[in-house]
Amino acid sequence: MKKVYRNIKKEIDLHGFYPKGFAANLELIKEAYDLSEDEGLVTAFIFFTLAYRNLRRALNSFSYSDRGFFLVLEVIAKTLDLPLEKVQEMLGPDGKLIRMAIFGVDRESSNIDFEDYFESKSGISFFDLFFGKIDKKQLVSSILTPCNKSRLTLDDVKYLPVIDSLVVPFLKGIKEEGPRGVNVLLYGPPGSGKTELGKLLIEQAGKKAYTLKLGREEKVLACWERACKLSRNDAGTAILIDEADDVFNSDLVQGTTDRTNKARINAALENSKKLTVWTTNSLRSMDAAIIRRFHFVLKVGYPPRAQMEKLAQGALAKSLSEENISRLVNTENLSPALVAQVGEIVDNLQGNKVKFPEDSLMSLLEDILKAQGFGQLAAATKKIRKFDPALSNSDTDLEALSEGLKEAGAGRLCLYGPPGTGKTEFCHWLAKKLERPLIMKKASDLLNCYVGGTEHNIAAAFEEAKRENAVLLFDEIDSFLQDRRTANHSWEVTQVNEFLTQMESYEGYLVATTNLLDLMDNACLRRFDLKAKLDYMTDDQAEEMYRRLAQKWKFSVGDEVNNLRKIRNLSPGDFAAIDRRLRFTKVVSGEKIVDMLKVEAQLKEGQFSAARRTIGFLDN
């Protein structure tokens, strides 16, 4: 054993242990990482081991396969005349050499050779380390790389008012020499613009954004701590850590993560002296104690439709029609990142003078959405029939109602009545009167087979309406908001409860439509400010709409109007159906059109349904 140590020391002495170039570089490393003399000594020894074959040969005289890393620690302690406990601490998980990711250590394996237990993570080549001259800038550039300038401006994030009013002023006033650094956490769905927003925040703070260079199997937290230490004297830098889910989340489903020591993460966040912006897709399994350490925690959802339209127009206006731009804007889960990505493809094709059909571009977008599990693009905007309050048979003055709502700034309406009486069309008309976008949700948009899924979708609908400053319409609300007294399942109750909770706190325009008022929950009905009925048309309204139809299709109006006035249950929807039919039929006779309307009315009364069969003998 003594002979082996003599050989090791001989090899160290042979190389002088501190060659001229390495000595200066080691001092720089010690200063940069704030290492003690003993930590510098261990660092030098491990670097020498990894660089010099003869020293490795001497160290490998020991059999490490039995005692593993513990014997490695003993050899280092004995060779450098250091206490074993001190070496164990320096190369332990919380030791500075490991925490700063100067070295990677394999403690678990029973490697045969000494050098297999260590891996240099300094980012500096051995040639530069031993024979070159490294500087602080080289150390920093080995772990940090500059980010491109953000594509966003403060105008682009006005839908997040807290950015301009609170976050940016705070960041502009921070001091690098303060007691602790500032950490900002941005969370939200993939592609929502978190990375670009993070760069914008750093730029607004008057700093240059850098991101980490992660080596093979290198941990984000250790790399960040090292970067903070190396750049601590550079007040003009800040760090952006993208996709930080592995650092903070401890969900077993996600597999291996960095989050093995919550106390270490908390201490790192509290002791950092560097402005850092972190992004993550979810806070689902992030510990509340960790969240508390951030100065700001901001949710970054998909931008409002007005902002998405601006993005789509900027990236794709030369390639897509207004109709297809509208389809993109109305597509849920279409992210800014996807629009920008396809925009880059378009720019490349156009730069190479490649012509491509518009349908191919839309198909590409839809395929990407489907691959992400988000379904398909929104359908082409359906042309809504022009709504005329004068042709709507309501127990409420709809014109006066719209004016009152505009003056009030909020209101909760329930529209009920037979199908086809114009409830949905009224909502589109009302949204235009109020100069607000309309967000329409149907049962298919809300109902979810997973526990809590429907409740989540209901809450998300209200949140979307708040963000868009829109009129929120729940169409055919009776399909998911039925009376809780007749509920057969607990989820039928919880989704009504969720709707009531959201409804109580909502301060915008809310409209619900139903054909089956009797089935709705009484507590929900009670919370609507106004219940307005839209009924079948009066005789005068039916005649007026008939005359407008005749004017459009250029047929004469005669005595058949008398027969029209005898039909009791006509709705605007019946006239719309005949209007569509006339596009592909050659019927231009008023009498035949009245007959068509009569059939539409009879269908609603079930006069053409199959006769009910009874069991037993029939009388002849």
Helix (H) or strand (E) holding 271: helix 262-271
Average pLDDT, the chain: 83
Q: Tokens 């407008």 — which residue?
A: 548
Report the C-alpha dihedral over residues 371, 375, 376, 377, rounded to 10 degrees: -110
Q: Domain ranges in the chain?
A: 2-135, 144-299, 305-371, 389-535, 539-605
Whether 14 shows a pLDDT value over 80: the answer reads no
DSSP state of 286: B
* HSE of 126, CA atoms in CB hemisphere, 13 A: 11
Among 117, 115, 45, 119, which residue's Cα sits nearest to residue 80?
45
CA 565 vs CA 195, 219, 526, 538, 588: distances in Å: 64, 79, 37, 8, 19
Which residue would you say has higher pLDDT here, 8 or 551?
Answer: 551
Give one DSSP letter per residue of 537-602, joined into a string: PPHHHHHHHHHHHHHHHT----THHHHHTT-S---HHHHHHHHHHTTT-----HHHHHHHHHHHHH
Say if residues 534 and 422 touch (Cβ distance below 8 Å): yes
Whether 174 shows a pLDDT value over 90: the answer reads no
Architecture of the 144-299 domain: 3-Layer(aba) Sandwich (3.40)
d(CA 94, CA 251): 23
pLDDT digits (tens, 9 = 90+) for 26-82: 888 888 888 899 998 888 888 888 877 877 888 888 887 778 888 888 888 988 889
Whether 613 shows a pLDDT value over 60: the answer reads no
Tokens of 340: 């920008």
Which pLDDT value is given to residue 545?
Answer: 92
Whether 380 shows a pLDDT value over 70: the answer reads no
CB-CB neighbours of 195 under 10 Å: 23
Which pLDDT value is given to residue 612?
Answer: 45
All residues at 6 or more sequence positions from 576 whose CB lies less than 8 Å from its CB, including other chains: 385, 420
**Mapping DSSP to helix (H, G, I), strand (E, B) and coil, where does residue 348 land?**
helix
Q: Tokens 């901001």 — which residue?
A: 298
Query: What whole-number percentage of the chain has pLDDT above 70?
Result: 87
Burial 493-524 (b: 16+ CB within 10 A, else e): ebbbebbbebbeebebbbbbbbbeeeebbeeb
Helix (H) or strand (E) holding 177: none
Q: Specify the pTM.
A: 0.71
Which pLDDT value is given to residue 4?
Answer: 56
pLDDT digits (tens, 9 = 90+) for 259-284: 456 787 888 888 888 899 999 998 87
Q: Do domains 144-299 and 389-535 have the same CATH topology?
A: yes
Which pLDDT value is given to residue 265?
Answer: 85
Say if residues 265 and 248 touch (Cβ distance below 8 Å): yes
Residue type, position 532, single letter: A
Q: Mean pLDDT across the stretch 352-379?
A: 83
Q: Tell me if the domain spanning 389-535 has CATH number 3.40.50.300.
A: yes
d(CA 562, CA 275): 80
Pairing of strands 237-241, 208-212: parallel
Which pLDDT value is given to residue 17?
Answer: 54
d(CA 88, CA 73): 6
